[in-house]
Structure 1
Amino acid sequence: MNKKKFRAFPIIFITMIVIAIAPTLLWIRRSQPFAFEMFEREVYNQEMSYQVAVLLLVVILIGIVYGLTGREGLAYLSLKKRDGKIRSEPWIGIKPKETETWKNLGLNFAIIITLVTVVVIYFQVAREGEMSLDLYPGILLVIVFALINAFSEEIIFRFSFVAVVNKFGYSPYVAQGLAAATFGVIHYFGTPSGIPGVLMAGFIGWLLAKSMLETKGFFWALLIHFLQDVVIFFAVFMK
């Protein structure tokens, strides 16, 4: 019994940390802890403040995961591991052929999910009124912020669960379920928002955790998330 409790403790511990971080992200977004005045447009300064603050949290979280899992957990941060066998998920239409691996599935989902995000963002944000975006630094900042945001959220909502769940021998569905639930709920207040945001983010959270578990790496999770964030930041900065 004590052994089982010991195995369960790291999962409960990391889940509590992520649950605590989720509302903290909303607080950081509202409070703007760093007063940057680097750009003419205030929206850029506000986003810079948010991203820097969240990165500090991410560094602490990586340290916590390392403390729980050692180098074995940090191995999931590899960008070189891009392939792996796909576990069949017939309920969602993932029924890979013998020759199909994550090289095929990752690219397919990157395209499909990005196109779906474009449609959702258009109806939630873009069609509300006239929009424009300055070429510089607007487009450059879209790329930079999208990359930082994707990295930070993948660490918080995917890597943390995947590394700990794998280390302590639990089912991969535990990591996927926790990733889907936490990422989905926080997007009720995010972009896209509301129930569509919860459902879409929940599915993406589940899928990207699956990609990490099956490739043993960070590549597809980061790339797919980055592409979604490029679309979202374009819409936010064009308001």
Structure 2
Amino acid sequence: MLPASGFGAIVWSTMLGTDPPAWMGFLQVSILAALVLLAGASPRWRPLRGYFLALTALAAGYVVGDKVSGALTWEGWQARMFANTLIHAVISCGFLALSLVGSGLTRRDVYLVKGDMAAPSHLPRWVPHLPWSRLGPLLMVILAVGLAIQLFLTVHPDLHLAGRALLSLPAALAFAAINAAQEEFRYRAVLLARLGPAVGSTQALLVTSVMFGLDHWFGHPAGPSGVLLAGFAGYLWGKSMIETRGSAWAWLIHAFQDVVIYLLIAAAKG
């Protein structure tokens, strides 16, 4: 998971204080491609081949996406946010979807269905075992509160601009719908389907949640607190996928958080 995540970029930028070099992306793809070959040659590693292939496709999508993004000029933070989301939706998700060709996995296998939105949840003993029809809306609010606190401490939105920020609600809803869908596909749907059968759903859930957290170091929420918050949220969204056998709750809860992010950044940017 680490070569496919932002781990290398985080280490480079924090230790050297500069942007990661362009060759780092190609190195990550090479490492992952080597793992695909290793899994194909080793019976012990063969169950992980599909997972390694998905990570290789994802890393290659990032390299191409970065090239496309770097070749274009975006004016304003809204344009950059939408552009990055659309680039990932088309290129990164496209590469990842191509890695599924010949896999035999169905839409249901990769959670591209609604699922049972009232399925029972399986949380620690000290947490009431609510059905997802009740837990889902509750998590929307709880995660949004934590996210808002983190954003107030990091991007410093101006409450005097709240009215102006609300005018961007249609754009926020559009951004949230697209971004949540492409991130759930990238970070959870395919990877859980590929890794779960090999190592078990619990391990797969932990691995994908760490990856989701690491990739938010430079995003929103950002920094160490952003990694922890995104990782925790990713764990819950992945758990909803596994327990409901679908993506509906993961997408809805994720999209709600993205609306909060967009509006608070709008209040911070003016």
TM bin, normalised by shorter chain, reads 0.7 to 0.9
TM-score by length of structure 1 reads 0.80
Shift of 1:103: 1.5
- Out of 3, 8, 12, the position equivalent to 2:52 is 12
- Show the counterpart of 1:61: 96
Mapping of residues 34-183 of structure 1, within 5 Å: 34=72, 42-57=76-91, 58-65=93-100, 67-71=102-106, 73=108, 76-90=111-125, 93-96=126-129, 100-127=130-157, 131=161, 133=164, 138-166=168-196, 168-183=197-212
Give SS of 1:71's match: coil
How far did residue 234 of structure 1 move? 0.9
User: Alignment partner for residue 189 of structure 1, among 200, 218, 225?
Assistant: 218
Unaligned runs of 5+ in 2: 1-40
Count of matched residue positions in the alignment of Structure 1 and Structure 2: 226
Unaligned runs of 5+ in 1: none
| Secondary structure of 2:234 counterpart | helix
Give TM-score, length-normalised by structure 2.
0.72
Q: RCO greater where, 1 or 2, for CA within 8 Å and sep 6 or more?
A: 1
Q: SS at the partner of 2:99?
A: helix
What displacement does 1:211 show?
A: 0.7
The alignment yields a C-alpha RMSD, in angstroms, of 2.9
Instruction: Provide, for residues 49-79 of structure 1, a one-character-per-residue CA deviation record: whole Å limited to 9, x for no partner.
Output: 2222111121332232354342155551112
Task: Give per-residue Cα distances to partners, 1:156-191, cap 9 Å, x unaligned.
Answer: 11112222134x353111221121111111111111
Decide which moves more: 47-56 or 1-10. Answer: 1-10
Change (3 A) 1:177 1:29: farther
Distance 1:95 1:11, change over 3 A: farther
